[in-house]
Structure 1
Protein backbone atom coordinates (compact mmCIF):
# COMPACT_ATOMS: atom_id res chain seq x y z
CA UNK A 1 0.00 0.00 0.00
CA UNK A 2 0.99 3.62 -0.51
CA UNK A 3 -0.32 4.85 2.86
CA UNK A 4 -0.16 3.42 6.38
CA UNK A 5 -3.19 2.03 8.17
CA UNK A 6 -5.39 4.66 9.85
CA UNK A 7 -5.74 4.67 13.63
CA UNK A 8 -9.38 5.66 13.37
CA UNK A 9 -12.04 5.99 10.69
CA UNK A 10 -12.21 9.50 9.27
CA UNK A 11 -15.07 9.68 6.81
CA UNK A 12 -17.43 12.17 5.18
CA UNK A 13 -20.17 11.71 7.79
CA UNK A 14 -17.80 12.45 10.67
CA UNK A 15 -16.46 15.55 8.90
CA UNK A 16 -19.97 16.84 8.26
CA UNK A 17 -20.99 16.35 11.90
CA UNK A 18 -17.93 18.15 13.24
CA UNK A 19 -18.40 21.13 10.92
CA UNK A 20 -22.10 21.44 11.83
CA UNK A 21 -21.29 21.24 15.54
CA UNK A 22 -18.32 23.62 15.66
CA UNK A 23 -18.62 25.86 12.57
CA UNK A 24 -22.30 25.94 11.56
CA UNK A 25 -21.78 29.09 9.48
CA UNK A 26 -19.39 27.15 7.21
CA UNK A 27 -21.53 24.00 6.92
CA UNK A 28 -22.12 22.73 3.39
CA UNK A 29 -21.68 19.71 1.14
CA UNK A 30 -18.69 17.56 2.08
CA UNK A 31 -16.83 15.26 -0.32
CA UNK A 32 -13.77 13.10 0.28
CA UNK A 33 -10.76 14.24 -1.77
CA UNK A 34 -8.01 11.97 -0.42
CA UNK A 35 -6.99 9.70 2.42
CA UNK A 36 -3.39 10.85 2.73
CA UNK A 37 -0.37 9.52 4.57
CA UNK A 38 -1.29 11.31 7.81
CA UNK A 39 -4.49 13.22 7.08
CA UNK A 40 -7.82 12.89 5.35
CA UNK A 41 -8.78 15.80 3.09
CA UNK A 42 -12.37 16.72 2.30
CA UNK A 43 -13.82 19.48 0.18
CA UNK A 44 -16.34 21.66 2.01
CA UNK A 45 -18.64 23.55 -0.34
CA UNK A 46 -16.87 25.52 -3.05
CA UNK A 47 -14.45 27.57 -0.99
CA UNK A 48 -13.13 25.40 1.83
CA UNK A 49 -11.42 22.13 2.66
CA UNK A 50 -11.28 20.05 5.85
CA UNK A 51 -7.98 18.56 7.02
CA UNK A 52 -8.29 15.82 9.63
CA UNK A 53 -5.53 13.60 11.07
CA UNK A 54 -6.10 9.87 10.58
CA UNK A 55 -3.10 8.71 12.64
CA UNK A 56 -2.34 9.58 16.26
CA UNK A 57 1.40 9.78 15.60
CA UNK A 58 0.79 12.75 13.28
CA UNK A 59 -2.07 14.44 15.11
CA UNK A 60 0.11 17.11 16.74
CA UNK A 61 1.41 18.17 13.31
CA UNK A 62 -1.91 19.84 12.50
CA UNK A 63 -1.49 21.85 15.69
CA UNK A 64 1.86 23.10 14.35
CA UNK A 65 0.10 24.27 11.19
CA UNK A 66 -2.64 25.99 13.16
CA UNK A 67 -0.10 27.89 15.26
CA UNK A 68 2.50 28.78 12.65
CA UNK A 69 0.86 29.08 9.23
CA UNK A 70 -0.49 32.58 10.01
CA UNK A 71 3.11 33.60 10.81
CA UNK A 72 4.57 32.00 7.67
CA UNK A 73 1.91 33.61 5.48
CA UNK A 74 3.38 36.98 6.40
CA UNK A 75 6.71 35.93 4.88
CA UNK A 76 5.59 34.69 1.46
CA UNK A 77 3.42 36.01 -1.37
CA UNK A 78 1.97 32.64 -2.32
CA UNK A 79 -1.34 31.94 -0.53
CA UNK A 80 -0.92 29.25 2.12
CA UNK A 81 -3.58 26.99 3.67
CA UNK A 82 -3.99 29.18 6.75
CA UNK A 83 -6.84 27.73 8.84
CA UNK A 84 -10.08 29.68 8.90
CA UNK A 85 -11.47 27.26 11.44
CA UNK A 86 -9.49 25.55 14.20
CA UNK A 87 -11.40 22.42 15.14
CA UNK A 88 -11.34 21.23 18.73
CA UNK A 89 -10.83 17.63 19.88
CA UNK A 90 -13.86 16.04 21.48
CA UNK A 91 -15.52 12.76 22.46
CA UNK A 92 -16.32 11.83 18.86
CA UNK A 93 -12.94 12.76 17.38
CA UNK A 94 -9.86 13.10 19.63
CA UNK A 95 -7.59 15.28 17.47
CA UNK A 96 -7.35 18.92 16.46
CA UNK A 97 -8.49 19.51 12.86
CA UNK A 98 -8.71 22.46 10.47
CA UNK A 99 -10.89 24.14 7.89
CA UNK A 100 -8.65 25.72 5.27
CA UNK A 101 -9.12 27.49 1.93
CA UNK A 102 -9.68 25.20 -1.04
CA UNK A 103 -7.10 25.53 -3.84
CA UNK A 104 -8.08 24.58 -7.38
CA UNK A 105 -5.44 22.65 -9.30
CA UNK A 106 -3.61 19.34 -9.43
CA UNK A 107 -1.01 17.91 -7.13
CA UNK A 108 2.55 18.26 -8.33
CA UNK A 109 3.03 14.49 -8.02
CA UNK A 110 0.57 14.04 -10.88
CA UNK A 111 2.84 15.96 -13.27
CA UNK A 112 6.00 14.82 -15.01
CA UNK A 113 9.27 16.51 -14.00
CA UNK A 114 9.36 18.30 -17.38
CA UNK A 115 6.00 19.89 -16.54
CA UNK A 116 7.14 20.86 -13.06
CA UNK A 117 10.04 22.81 -14.53
CA UNK A 118 7.53 25.59 -15.28
CA UNK A 119 7.40 26.58 -11.62
CA UNK A 120 11.11 26.19 -10.81
CA UNK A 121 11.77 29.92 -10.50
CA UNK A 122 8.59 30.50 -8.51
CA UNK A 123 9.40 27.71 -6.07
CA UNK A 124 12.90 29.08 -5.57
CA UNK A 125 11.46 32.51 -4.77
CA UNK A 126 9.03 30.92 -2.31
CA UNK A 127 11.85 29.24 -0.40
CA UNK A 128 14.06 32.31 -0.52
CA UNK A 129 11.26 34.27 1.18
CA UNK A 130 10.52 31.52 3.70
CA UNK A 131 14.14 30.94 4.72
CA UNK A 132 14.52 33.64 7.33
CA UNK A 133 15.65 33.06 10.93
CA UNK A 134 12.97 31.27 12.93
CA UNK A 135 12.14 31.96 16.57
CA UNK A 136 13.53 29.77 19.30
CA UNK A 137 10.12 28.17 19.89
CA UNK A 138 9.71 26.98 16.29
CA UNK A 139 8.62 23.32 16.17
CA UNK A 140 11.41 20.79 16.63
CA UNK A 141 11.65 18.01 14.06
CA UNK A 142 14.25 15.29 14.72
CA UNK A 143 14.37 14.13 11.08
CA UNK A 144 14.37 17.38 9.07
CA UNK A 145 16.65 20.39 9.15
CA UNK A 146 19.20 18.50 11.26
CA UNK A 147 22.80 17.56 10.52
CA UNK A 148 22.83 14.84 7.93
CA UNK A 149 25.20 12.68 9.95
CA UNK A 150 22.44 12.15 12.53
CA UNK A 151 20.35 10.46 9.81
CA UNK A 152 23.05 8.29 8.25
CA UNK A 153 22.16 5.08 10.09
CA UNK A 154 18.49 5.35 9.12
CA UNK A 155 19.20 6.26 5.49
CA UNK A 156 21.73 3.46 5.00
CA UNK A 157 19.29 0.99 6.56
CA UNK A 158 16.60 2.15 4.13
CA UNK A 159 18.95 1.74 1.18
CA UNK A 160 19.84 -1.74 2.40
CA UNK A 161 16.12 -2.52 2.47
CA UNK A 162 15.80 -1.52 -1.18
CA UNK A 163 18.16 -4.25 -2.37
CA UNK A 164 16.26 -6.08 -5.08
CA UNK A 165 13.99 -3.12 -5.79
CA UNK A 166 16.77 -0.85 -7.07
CA UNK A 167 19.78 -1.83 -9.16
CA UNK A 168 23.02 -2.53 -7.33
CA UNK A 169 24.71 0.34 -9.18
CA UNK A 170 21.89 2.72 -8.32
CA UNK A 171 22.13 1.84 -4.64
CA UNK A 172 25.89 2.30 -4.67
CA UNK A 173 25.54 5.74 -6.24
CA UNK A 174 22.82 6.77 -3.77
CA UNK A 175 25.01 5.73 -0.84
CA UNK A 176 27.90 7.78 -2.25
CA UNK A 177 25.70 10.85 -2.79
CA UNK A 178 24.36 10.56 0.75
CA UNK A 179 27.80 10.12 2.26
CA UNK A 180 29.16 13.05 0.25
CA UNK A 181 26.42 15.29 1.59
CA UNK A 182 26.89 14.05 5.14
CA UNK A 183 30.64 14.75 4.91
CA UNK A 184 30.19 18.23 3.43
CA UNK A 185 30.71 21.30 5.57
CA UNK A 186 27.82 21.57 8.01
CA UNK A 187 25.44 24.52 7.91
CA UNK A 188 26.64 27.17 10.35
CA UNK A 189 24.06 29.90 9.80
CA UNK A 190 20.96 30.76 11.81
CA UNK A 191 18.19 28.16 11.97
CA UNK A 192 15.73 29.30 9.30
CA UNK A 193 12.08 28.42 8.76
CA UNK A 194 11.65 25.20 6.77
CA UNK A 195 8.66 23.60 5.12
CA UNK A 196 10.38 20.32 5.94
CA UNK A 197 8.70 18.00 3.42
CA UNK A 198 9.14 19.66 0.01
CA UNK A 199 8.14 16.79 -2.30
CA UNK A 200 5.80 17.22 -5.32
CA UNK A 201 2.80 15.84 -3.47
CA UNK A 202 2.84 18.95 -1.28
CA UNK A 203 2.29 21.55 -3.98
CA UNK A 204 -0.86 22.39 -5.93
CA UNK A 205 -0.43 23.51 -9.53
CA UNK A 206 -2.95 25.83 -11.15
CA UNK A 207 -4.15 25.93 -14.74
CA UNK A 208 -1.24 28.20 -15.66
CA UNK A 209 1.25 25.49 -14.72
CA UNK A 210 2.47 27.62 -11.81
CA UNK A 211 2.14 27.08 -8.07
CA UNK A 212 -1.30 27.76 -6.64
CA UNK A 213 -0.22 26.92 -3.10
CA UNK A 214 2.15 24.86 -0.99
CA UNK A 215 0.42 22.49 1.44
CA UNK A 216 1.10 20.10 4.31
CA UNK A 217 3.22 22.09 6.73
CA UNK A 218 3.00 19.34 9.34
CA UNK A 219 6.79 18.93 9.27
CA UNK A 220 7.39 22.67 9.62
CA UNK A 221 10.56 23.27 11.59
CA UNK A 222 13.76 25.28 11.54
CA UNK A 223 17.34 24.46 10.66
CA UNK A 224 19.49 23.94 7.58
CA UNK A 225 17.81 25.31 4.42
CA UNK A 226 19.35 22.45 2.44
CA UNK A 227 16.42 20.30 3.59
CA UNK A 228 14.01 22.39 1.49
CA UNK A 229 16.52 22.87 -1.32
CA UNK A 230 16.22 19.13 -1.95
CA UNK A 231 13.21 20.24 -4.01
CA UNK A 232 15.67 20.91 -6.84
CA UNK A 233 15.94 17.12 -7.30
CA UNK A 234 12.55 16.07 -5.96
CA UNK A 235 10.66 18.17 -8.53
CA UNK A 236 12.72 19.14 -11.54
CA UNK A 237 14.77 17.98 -14.50
CA UNK A 238 18.37 19.25 -14.86
CA UNK A 239 17.05 22.31 -16.74
CA UNK A 240 14.52 23.19 -14.05
CA UNK A 241 17.05 22.41 -11.35
CA UNK A 242 19.54 24.87 -12.84
CA UNK A 243 16.84 27.54 -12.95
CA UNK A 244 15.78 26.81 -9.37
CA UNK A 245 19.36 27.02 -8.11
CA UNK A 246 20.15 30.20 -10.00
CA UNK A 247 17.01 31.96 -8.80
CA UNK A 248 17.46 30.95 -5.18
CA UNK A 249 21.06 32.13 -5.12
CA UNK A 250 19.97 35.54 -6.37
CA UNK A 251 18.31 35.95 -2.96
CA UNK A 252 20.20 33.68 -0.54
CA UNK A 253 23.87 32.84 -0.26
CA UNK A 254 24.76 29.21 -0.93
CA UNK A 255 27.91 27.24 -1.65
CA UNK A 256 28.84 23.83 -3.03
CA UNK A 257 28.35 22.26 0.39
CA UNK A 258 24.79 23.61 0.58
CA UNK A 259 23.84 21.84 -2.64
CA UNK A 260 25.70 18.64 -1.70
CA UNK A 261 23.61 18.51 1.46
CA UNK A 262 20.45 19.33 -0.50
CA UNK A 263 21.12 16.49 -2.93
CA UNK A 264 21.64 14.15 0.01
CA UNK A 265 18.33 15.26 1.50
CA UNK A 266 16.73 14.40 -1.84
CA UNK A 267 18.18 10.90 -1.46
CA UNK A 268 16.55 10.62 1.96
CA UNK A 269 13.14 12.00 1.00
CA UNK A 270 12.98 10.32 -2.40
CA UNK A 271 13.95 6.87 -1.14
CA UNK A 272 11.55 7.23 1.81
CA UNK A 273 8.68 7.74 -0.63
CA UNK A 274 9.80 4.84 -2.79
CA UNK A 275 10.38 2.50 0.16
CA UNK A 276 6.97 3.31 1.66
CA UNK A 277 5.15 2.33 -1.53
CA UNK A 278 4.37 -1.09 -2.92
CA UNK A 279 5.87 -0.05 -6.25
CA UNK A 280 2.64 1.31 -7.69
CA UNK A 281 0.74 4.58 -7.40
CA UNK A 282 1.79 8.20 -7.06
CA UNK A 283 4.03 7.61 -4.05
CA UNK A 284 6.12 5.05 -5.93
CA UNK A 285 6.26 7.21 -9.05
CA UNK A 286 7.27 10.27 -7.07
CA UNK A 287 10.03 8.34 -5.31
CA UNK A 288 11.30 6.76 -8.52
CA UNK A 289 11.41 10.13 -10.31
CA UNK A 290 13.30 11.68 -7.39
CA UNK A 291 15.85 8.86 -7.45
CA UNK A 292 16.34 9.29 -11.20
CA UNK A 293 16.89 13.03 -10.82
CA UNK A 294 19.33 12.57 -7.93
CA UNK A 295 21.32 10.11 -10.03
CA UNK A 296 21.31 12.45 -13.04
CA UNK A 297 23.40 15.02 -11.19
Structure 2
Protein backbone atom coordinates (compact mmCIF):
# COMPACT_ATOMS: atom_id res chain seq x y z
CA UNK A 1 0.00 0.00 0.00
CA UNK A 2 1.31 3.46 -0.91
CA UNK A 3 1.42 6.15 1.77
CA UNK A 4 0.23 9.05 -0.38
CA UNK A 5 -2.37 9.40 -3.12
CA UNK A 6 0.18 11.24 -5.29
CA UNK A 7 3.08 8.87 -4.59
CA UNK A 8 5.60 8.23 -7.38
CA UNK A 9 7.01 4.75 -7.93
CA UNK A 10 10.81 4.47 -7.78
CA UNK A 11 12.58 1.19 -8.55
CA UNK A 12 16.16 0.00 -8.52
CA UNK A 13 16.01 -0.20 -12.33
CA UNK A 14 15.00 3.46 -12.57
CA UNK A 15 17.79 4.50 -10.23
CA UNK A 16 20.35 2.47 -12.17
CA UNK A 17 19.25 4.08 -15.43
CA UNK A 18 19.46 7.58 -13.96
CA UNK A 19 22.95 6.94 -12.66
CA UNK A 20 24.13 5.54 -16.00
CA UNK A 21 22.75 8.61 -17.80
CA UNK A 22 23.77 11.34 -15.36
CA UNK A 23 26.59 10.03 -13.17
CA UNK A 24 28.44 7.36 -15.15
CA UNK A 25 31.34 7.49 -12.69
CA UNK A 26 29.07 5.59 -10.27
CA UNK A 27 27.53 3.18 -12.76
CA UNK A 28 29.61 0.25 -11.53
CA UNK A 29 28.44 0.57 -7.93
CA UNK A 30 25.77 -1.68 -6.46
CA UNK A 31 22.36 -0.06 -6.00
CA UNK A 32 20.16 -1.18 -3.11
CA UNK A 33 16.83 0.07 -1.84
CA UNK A 34 17.09 1.04 1.83
CA UNK A 35 14.27 -0.32 3.95
CA UNK A 36 12.88 2.70 5.73
CA UNK A 37 9.85 4.00 7.59
CA UNK A 38 10.44 7.38 5.96
CA UNK A 39 7.47 9.13 4.42
CA UNK A 40 9.06 11.80 2.21
CA UNK A 41 11.79 10.04 0.19
CA UNK A 42 12.69 6.67 -1.27
CA UNK A 43 16.34 6.05 -0.40
CA UNK A 44 18.82 3.92 -2.33
CA UNK A 45 22.42 3.14 -1.46
CA UNK A 46 24.98 3.66 -4.21
CA UNK A 47 27.94 1.48 -3.35
CA UNK A 48 29.15 1.78 0.23
CA UNK A 49 29.57 5.52 0.63
CA UNK A 50 26.66 7.27 -1.11
CA UNK A 51 22.88 7.39 -0.91
CA UNK A 52 20.32 8.75 -3.36
CA UNK A 53 17.05 10.30 -2.14
CA UNK A 54 13.98 10.48 -4.37
CA UNK A 55 10.95 12.61 -3.41
CA UNK A 56 7.91 10.35 -3.19
CA UNK A 57 5.11 12.85 -3.76
CA UNK A 58 4.57 14.21 -7.27
CA UNK A 59 5.27 17.93 -7.57
CA UNK A 60 6.41 20.47 -10.15
CA UNK A 61 10.00 19.70 -11.12
CA UNK A 62 11.16 23.31 -10.82
CA UNK A 63 9.66 23.61 -7.35
CA UNK A 64 11.26 20.33 -6.28
CA UNK A 65 14.65 21.55 -7.51
CA UNK A 66 14.31 24.71 -5.43
CA UNK A 67 13.51 22.61 -2.36
CA UNK A 68 16.40 20.21 -2.97
CA UNK A 69 18.86 23.07 -3.43
CA UNK A 70 17.67 24.65 -0.19
CA UNK A 71 17.91 21.30 1.62
CA UNK A 72 21.44 20.74 0.31
CA UNK A 73 22.54 24.12 1.68
CA UNK A 74 20.89 23.37 5.03
CA UNK A 75 22.45 19.89 5.24
CA UNK A 76 25.91 21.27 4.51
CA UNK A 77 25.44 23.94 7.18
CA UNK A 78 24.28 21.45 9.82
CA UNK A 79 27.18 19.10 9.05
CA UNK A 80 29.61 21.96 9.74
CA UNK A 81 28.19 22.77 13.19
CA UNK A 82 27.04 19.36 14.46
CA UNK A 83 29.01 17.51 17.13
CA UNK A 84 27.85 14.25 15.51
CA UNK A 85 28.17 12.98 11.91
CA UNK A 86 25.56 14.11 9.41
CA UNK A 87 25.16 13.45 5.67
CA UNK A 88 26.83 15.90 3.31
CA UNK A 89 25.37 16.82 -0.10
CA UNK A 90 27.21 15.43 -3.12
CA UNK A 91 25.09 16.07 -6.23
CA UNK A 92 21.64 16.82 -7.60
CA UNK A 93 20.13 14.63 -10.31
CA UNK A 94 17.64 15.57 -13.02
CA UNK A 95 14.34 13.95 -14.07
CA UNK A 96 14.70 11.00 -16.40
CA UNK A 97 14.22 7.25 -16.95
CA UNK A 98 10.53 7.56 -16.05
CA UNK A 99 11.14 9.49 -12.83
CA UNK A 100 9.62 12.99 -13.20
CA UNK A 101 11.49 15.07 -10.61
CA UNK A 102 14.97 16.10 -9.52
CA UNK A 103 16.66 13.98 -6.85
CA UNK A 104 19.69 14.22 -4.57
CA UNK A 105 22.83 12.32 -3.64
CA UNK A 106 24.43 12.45 -0.19
CA UNK A 107 27.17 10.72 1.71
CA UNK A 108 26.11 7.52 3.49
CA UNK A 109 26.50 7.21 7.26
CA UNK A 110 26.99 3.88 9.06
CA UNK A 111 24.84 3.01 12.06
CA UNK A 112 21.39 1.68 12.91
CA UNK A 113 18.33 3.92 12.97
CA UNK A 114 16.85 4.32 16.43
CA UNK A 115 13.56 2.79 15.29
CA UNK A 116 15.48 -0.50 14.86
CA UNK A 117 17.93 -0.19 17.78
CA UNK A 118 15.87 1.39 20.52
CA UNK A 119 18.09 3.64 22.73
CA UNK A 120 15.17 5.00 24.76
CA UNK A 121 16.44 3.61 28.07
CA UNK A 122 20.00 4.94 27.73
CA UNK A 123 21.10 7.91 29.84
CA UNK A 124 24.22 8.20 27.68
CA UNK A 125 22.10 8.47 24.53
CA UNK A 126 19.95 11.13 26.24
CA UNK A 127 23.10 13.14 27.01
CA UNK A 128 24.30 12.73 23.41
CA UNK A 129 20.96 13.92 22.04
CA UNK A 130 21.06 16.97 24.30
CA UNK A 131 24.63 17.71 23.21
CA UNK A 132 23.59 17.51 19.56
CA UNK A 133 20.73 19.97 20.10
CA UNK A 134 22.98 22.29 22.07
CA UNK A 135 25.48 22.37 19.20
CA UNK A 136 22.73 23.42 16.79
CA UNK A 137 21.43 26.08 19.18
CA UNK A 138 24.94 27.56 19.34
CA UNK A 139 25.01 28.02 15.55
CA UNK A 140 24.56 31.55 14.20
CA UNK A 141 21.10 32.23 12.76
CA UNK A 142 22.67 35.08 10.73
CA UNK A 143 19.53 37.11 11.30
CA UNK A 144 17.23 34.48 9.83
CA UNK A 145 13.77 33.86 11.30
CA UNK A 146 11.37 30.90 11.17
CA UNK A 147 10.14 30.51 7.59
CA UNK A 148 6.50 29.89 8.51
CA UNK A 149 6.53 26.38 7.03
CA UNK A 150 5.68 23.28 9.07
CA UNK A 151 6.36 23.26 12.83
CA UNK A 152 8.39 25.76 14.78
CA UNK A 153 6.40 28.98 14.84
CA UNK A 154 3.07 29.67 16.54
CA UNK A 155 1.33 26.63 18.04
CA UNK A 156 -2.16 28.02 17.47
CA UNK A 157 -1.45 28.33 13.73
CA UNK A 158 -1.92 24.54 13.64
CA UNK A 159 -5.52 24.63 14.89
CA UNK A 160 -7.03 23.68 11.50
CA UNK A 161 -4.67 20.73 11.12
CA UNK A 162 -5.36 19.59 14.65
CA UNK A 163 -9.11 19.81 14.05
CA UNK A 164 -8.65 17.46 11.09
CA UNK A 165 -6.49 15.14 13.21
CA UNK A 166 -9.13 14.95 15.94
CA UNK A 167 -11.85 14.20 13.38
CA UNK A 168 -9.80 11.51 11.66
CA UNK A 169 -8.79 9.98 15.01
CA UNK A 170 -12.32 9.19 16.19
CA UNK A 171 -12.35 5.47 16.98
CA UNK A 172 -8.54 5.37 17.15
CA UNK A 173 -7.75 7.57 20.15
CA UNK A 174 -9.37 9.18 23.19
CA UNK A 175 -10.22 12.29 21.21
CA UNK A 176 -12.08 14.28 23.92
CA UNK A 177 -9.09 14.00 26.26
CA UNK A 178 -6.66 14.92 23.49
CA UNK A 179 -8.76 17.94 22.47
CA UNK A 180 -8.58 19.22 26.03
CA UNK A 181 -4.84 18.78 26.01
CA UNK A 182 -4.44 20.73 22.76
CA UNK A 183 -6.62 23.54 24.10
CA UNK A 184 -3.99 24.03 26.81
CA UNK A 185 -0.95 23.46 24.59
CA UNK A 186 -2.02 25.97 21.92
CA UNK A 187 -1.97 28.80 24.46
CA UNK A 188 1.51 28.16 25.87
CA UNK A 189 3.57 31.36 25.74
CA UNK A 190 6.65 31.58 23.56
CA UNK A 191 9.94 32.59 25.17
CA UNK A 192 13.25 33.23 23.48
CA UNK A 193 14.40 34.12 19.99
CA UNK A 194 14.61 31.56 17.19
CA UNK A 195 17.57 29.18 17.29
CA UNK A 196 18.89 26.79 14.68
CA UNK A 197 17.04 23.47 14.83
CA UNK A 198 17.02 20.08 13.13
CA UNK A 199 13.22 20.14 13.05
CA UNK A 200 12.35 16.44 12.90
CA UNK A 201 14.06 14.39 15.61
CA UNK A 202 12.15 11.13 15.23
CA UNK A 203 13.69 7.64 15.57
CA UNK A 204 14.06 7.14 11.82
CA UNK A 205 16.29 10.21 11.59
CA UNK A 206 18.70 9.23 14.36
CA UNK A 207 21.55 6.71 14.08
CA UNK A 208 22.70 4.61 17.02
CA UNK A 209 25.79 2.51 17.66
CA UNK A 210 25.52 0.54 20.89
CA UNK A 211 23.57 2.82 23.19
CA UNK A 212 25.12 6.05 21.87
CA UNK A 213 24.12 8.57 19.23
CA UNK A 214 26.32 8.03 16.18
CA UNK A 215 24.74 10.27 13.54
CA UNK A 216 21.73 12.29 12.50
CA UNK A 217 19.84 12.04 9.18
CA UNK A 218 17.29 14.06 7.21
CA UNK A 219 19.06 17.32 7.92
CA UNK A 220 17.61 19.36 5.06
CA UNK A 221 15.16 21.10 7.38
CA UNK A 222 17.94 22.71 9.43
CA UNK A 223 16.90 26.27 10.13
CA UNK A 224 15.70 28.83 12.67
CA UNK A 225 12.69 27.92 14.80
CA UNK A 226 11.15 27.99 18.27
CA UNK A 227 13.90 26.93 20.74
CA UNK A 228 11.56 24.21 22.03
CA UNK A 229 11.05 22.52 18.64
CA UNK A 230 13.88 19.99 18.88
CA UNK A 231 12.65 18.94 22.32
CA UNK A 232 10.23 16.67 20.44
CA UNK A 233 13.12 14.19 20.54
CA UNK A 234 12.60 13.82 24.28
CA UNK A 235 9.14 12.35 23.66
CA UNK A 236 9.77 10.46 20.41
CA UNK A 237 13.05 8.91 21.53
CA UNK A 238 13.27 8.64 25.32
CA UNK A 239 11.63 6.95 28.29
CA UNK A 240 10.96 8.90 31.46
CA UNK A 241 14.33 8.39 33.22
CA UNK A 242 16.61 9.31 30.30
CA UNK A 243 14.12 12.05 29.42
CA UNK A 244 14.86 13.64 32.78
CA UNK A 245 18.60 13.35 32.07
CA UNK A 246 18.03 15.03 28.69
CA UNK A 247 16.10 17.89 30.30
CA UNK A 248 18.71 18.49 32.99
CA UNK A 249 21.52 18.44 30.44
CA UNK A 250 19.82 21.15 28.36
CA UNK A 251 18.61 23.02 31.47
CA UNK A 252 15.06 23.41 30.10
CA UNK A 253 12.71 25.54 32.16
CA UNK A 254 9.01 24.69 32.49
CA UNK A 255 7.66 26.91 29.64
CA UNK A 256 10.22 25.61 27.14
CA UNK A 257 9.67 22.00 28.22
CA UNK A 258 5.89 22.26 27.86
CA UNK A 259 6.15 23.81 24.41
CA UNK A 260 8.45 20.99 23.31
CA UNK A 261 5.80 18.57 24.55
CA UNK A 262 3.19 20.50 22.56
CA UNK A 263 5.19 20.25 19.30
CA UNK A 264 5.64 16.49 19.87
CA UNK A 265 1.90 16.20 20.50
CA UNK A 266 1.06 18.04 17.27
CA UNK A 267 3.35 15.79 15.24
CA UNK A 268 2.23 12.56 16.91
CA UNK A 269 -1.47 13.27 16.37
CA UNK A 270 -0.94 13.37 12.63
CA UNK A 271 1.19 10.23 12.52
CA UNK A 272 -1.41 7.99 14.14
CA UNK A 273 -4.31 8.35 11.70
CA UNK A 274 -2.50 9.31 8.49
CA UNK A 275 -0.26 6.23 8.49
CA UNK A 276 -2.49 3.77 10.34
CA UNK A 277 -2.71 1.48 7.28
CA UNK A 278 0.09 2.58 4.97
CA UNK A 279 2.98 2.87 7.47
CA UNK A 280 2.15 1.09 10.76
CA UNK A 281 5.59 1.83 12.22
CA UNK A 282 5.03 5.58 11.94
CA UNK A 283 1.50 5.25 13.27
CA UNK A 284 2.81 3.28 16.24
CA UNK A 285 5.44 5.95 16.86
CA UNK A 286 2.66 8.52 17.11
CA UNK A 287 0.75 6.37 19.60
CA UNK A 288 3.82 5.77 21.74
CA UNK A 289 4.66 9.47 21.83
CA UNK A 290 1.09 10.36 22.81
CA UNK A 291 1.18 7.72 25.54
CA UNK A 292 4.40 9.22 26.95
CA UNK A 293 2.89 12.71 26.91
CA UNK A 294 -0.31 11.53 28.59
CA UNK A 295 1.64 9.65 31.24
CA UNK A 296 3.66 12.78 32.00
CA UNK A 297 0.50 14.76 32.74
CA UNK A 298 -1.09 12.22 35.09
Q: Counterpart of 2:18? A: 18
The answer on whether the counterparts of 2:33 and 2:44 sit within 8 Å (CA) in structure 1 is yes
Q: Counterpart of 1:185? A: 189
Shift of the alpha carbon at 1:6? Answer: 4.9
Q: Counterpart of 2:283? A: 284
Correspondence list, 1:198-277, <5 A = 198-206=201-209, 208-249=210-251, 254-277=252-275
Q: Counterpart of 2:107? A: 101
The answer on whether the counterparts of 2:86 and 2:219 sit within 8 Å (CA) in structure 1 is no
Correspondence list, 1:1-297, <5 A = 3-27=3-27, 28-34=29-35, 36-57=38-59, 59=64, 60-89=66-95, 93-112=99-118, 114-115=120-121, 118-131=124-137, 132-136=139-143, 140-167=147-174, 171-189=175-193, 191-206=194-209, 208-249=210-251, 254-278=252-276, 281-297=280-296
Shift of the alpha carbon at 1:157? Answer: 2.9
Q: Deviations over 1:57-88 (max 9, x none)?
A: 59454332212211111211211111122324
Distance verdict in 2 for CA 1:112–1:265, change over 3 Å: same
TM-score, normalised via structure 1 length: 0.86
The answer on whether the counterparts of 1:180 and 1:260 sit within 8 Å (CA) in structure 2 is no
Q: Deviations over 1:192-216 (max 9, x none)?
A: 222222211211222x222222111
The answer on whether the counterparts of 2:144 and 2:224 sit within 8 Å (CA) in structure 1 is no
Q: What is the rounded CA distance, in whole Å, between the counterparts of 1:54 and 1:43 in structure 2?
A: 16
SS at match of 1:86: strand
* Structure 2 gaps, min length 5: none
The answer on whether the counterparts of 2:7 and 2:58 sit within 8 Å (CA) in structure 1 is yes
Q: Deviations over 1:25-64 (max 9, x none)?
A: 2331101113641211011111221111121359454332
Q: What is the rounded CA distance, in whole Å, between the counterparts of 2:182 and 2:80 in structure 1?
A: 34
CA RMSD of aligned residues (A): 2.5
Q: What is the rounded CA distance, in whole Å, between the counterparts of 1:124 and 1:2 in structure 2?
A: 35
* Structure 1 gaps, min length 5: none
